[in-house]
Structure 1
Amino acid sequence: MPLNYSKWDALEVSDDSDIEGHPNVDHKSLVRWKQRQIHEDREARKHKIATLKADIQSNPIIQERLREVRNSVKEKGVAFFSAIVERLEKQPSPERPPAPLEGTYDGMLLSLLRRTADDVKELGIASGDPRLDEELIKSLDEHLERMPEFMEKAKKELEYEEAEQKKKITSEDIRPGFSSTVGSSYIPSKPEPAPLPGALGTSTTHKKKATTTTVEYEVLNPKSVASSSTAPPPDLNEDDEIQEDEADIVPEVTPVIAEFSKLPLGGFQASWDFIRAHRDVVVPGASDALLVAGYRAEREGKHEYAKRCVHQSLLLQYGEKLGRDGISVFFGKMIDADPRAVMVFMKDVDDTYNHIVTRVKVNKEEEEAFSKGTEQIQLVPENPGAEISFNVPDGPPPENIKLEGPGTEGMEIEEVRKALQMQWEVFESFEEDMKAALKSQKLDSVNKVLGSMKIEDAERVVELLQISGMLSFSENGIRDQTGELADDVD
């Protein structure tokens, strides 16, 4: 069977020796510059083609809107012209033209109307001039007449650019296999885009081998230290594994998903076109990231954008729930404007957004209450029969210490001295009102002082009470008897 090589006629094959330059310039650099220029030219042509297609697609919409304005100005006069300009400036519609065009349709229309007003001003016609209505209509007619010319020019330019693009075969045009009228060639599918960090159902944890050394701590109040947040960690064997918990990672929107979130409510066709052009929108974690972005936007007062984020998030969720090809099935119903499907979906959008509004309000109220000090740190015994007492030192430890009584066997006097000295230093670091409350041995007095402090300061005081052994939840254990021990010194 003869092979057809004609499709390779447009393949641009070049040897490095074809590139000539100055003898003092490195030849490899010239080759790299030439390659970069080729790629930049291709990307510029692709962007220009996309822009021309977007212009051709959006121009009829602008033309129709401009014609409506022209007819209304002819019927209602210059007052309508001023009103429509003010409306476009203060309350523009979010409807956007196809990418890569920027701005909105209302922004484009406003630009044309401002240009019309400038044309009339250049004629020396001011407000109140009887010729104003006539000249405005005349200027609008001129813009409407130029639009078909612009369309024709854009179409010819698009044909030329597409023809130039097809003259050379690029890597995007190459397909594996031989040309044949029988059979087909295998085209490997593109790899699935990676899920967002923090997406549910994805493994984002890493395991590390930890080699630890066992350290034994000898303490005076074991129960108090065990309840402290700074208690030493449990011993680990050499083969134990430490798994980093990344469950608190919140999925964040990527630049592509951020653009997707700006599409208008109910713009199902625009969203579907965007998804088909950007494969990395439909990835695990994208819908969650959009909900997070919506929550943050609502907190910042960006209500319209917050609802868009909810809308786009639910678009992805609905498609995911319908199975493997669910996204295309779902958008098919939405674009066909199935009344029941659209009604159910938009109600879900409203309910979800209202839930976010409620959560933002509740969270702000909680934060406001927290900032005003409504929350307090209080010491409360876990069991009704338990009692909280305070081992308050009378002063620094004496020079000579004598240990007596059960539970003191095996204790070293120097270690006891260090513990008592640390307990005294902690006590001395407290404010006077806390010292007085501790000396009173009254739980209500201590809680009153704690309640008057900031949350973080009160937490720090309780932590120091636990570490030093001054806070006791039972009558067992070693109590500071510095004053009594001084009487028993040899």
Structure 2
Amino acid sequence: MPVDYSKWDALELSDDSDIEVHPNVDKRSFIRAKQNQIHMERQQRRHQIETLKYERQVNDGLMNRISSLLAALKRHAADAETRNPGEVAFQAVMESAGNPADDKVPERPPGVHANVEQPPSYTKMMASLLDQVNKALDEKKPENRYTAMMEEIEDHLRKVQELQSDLLKKLAELEKVESSKITSDSIHTGFDSSHITKSQPSAPGEKKVDDSKVELLNPNFSLTKPDESKATPSSEPDDDDEVQTSPDAHKFAQIKASDYRQSHAFITAHPHILTEKETDGILVLAFDAQLEGKDDFAQQCVHQALLLQYCRALGRDGVAMFFKRITTKGHQAQEVFYKDVRDTYQRIKNRAKEINAQRAAEGGSAGGVEQIQLHAVEPGTEIKIRIPPENSEDEGEKNARKIFEGFSDEMKKALESGSLDKVNEVLGKMKVEDAEELVGLFGEAGVLSLEEQIIDGTTEEGQKKIKELEEQAASESYADDPE
């Protein structure tokens, strides 16, 4: 890729050493002379630019005065035909004088026309211009002196305008030459300031905040009690929490679908029910009712839930708008709303039917309801049944016997038989909660105890049992070994 060096063409160096001169000319002297020439031309050019800008500023003020005088003369042109033209012209001159505060010529910049006196005021300039006009009129002796005066003044205005145009062209040329060269004067300091945010001094008596505190990624972690820090519950709400139906939503769901008057009154009295959460709660009621086979109530809940949804979706005046449309006979909104209710209820009905069928299938394959059964977990142990003695003097035995007497007759017979299978059979007929409570009473009464199983190694059955226990222990030790 070629390198573009054209951007350095505008660089002007007054002390450029890369220059060739005649052998008879001293190179250093030539460079100094060249440097002085460049600096002098640069100063003259800038001085000329300032002078032209000042002259244009003065000429602009003079042009405004001449234009005002011409406008005043043209306004009084009709009066000059009936009155003395000299008096009319004098009146026009006085009207065009303008504000005395603006009569002074702008101050000259330093060095501009330093050898010339300060320009006269605009009033003196206009007086000099009128003298020239009168002299020209005296020489020409026109028939209509007033009209000739306006023509002479217009001619002077045209000359000033041409002068301004020439000054503008010359100024543009000089500024173009000035901007075409990159000099040391073109270098400007960009950002020569800095700002440091200092801490505000604390007020007397105010405690100083310690900023050296380290921010922790897990602020709940404790080195002394790591388990407690892990178990600290989060205070943030869980988005997956089960939808709960509020009491007001329950009441609203009980309103008949056809009773729009009562529904409207309830919403008016309880406007907070118009939320998505309440709608979801009523839909949950509909789903539960459908699971229980309450078709009519489920459909009613769907109707009430969608009623809230439509009122909320229609905006600020959605309640009044919905009930007005739904109670108008033949309104299109009725068909849309009722169709939505039917479709939503049908989806709930189908889903509830699937769930009930799935529950029935799972119940049949599992062989019934969940049960509590007692079994020894550790190999080589068995559960022994001990009946508390009936006539014991020990307080512990008395309490245990009292608990035993509180069992049902069926359970007491199963325990007295000493068979764990019979006990499990009775427990299997009970509800899970009742069975768990009964097992807890077994522990309080000391009815069940875990003992090591005695195996007779002389018999074939005993040897087989011992072999099974050894294989089981070996497999467990192998599973615990990480290697």
TM-score, structure 2 normalization:
0.30
Choose between structure 1 and 2 for higher RCO, CA contacts under 8 A separated by at least 6 residues.
Answer: 1
Q: Based on CA coordinates, which of the two structures has the bigger radius of gyration?
A: 2
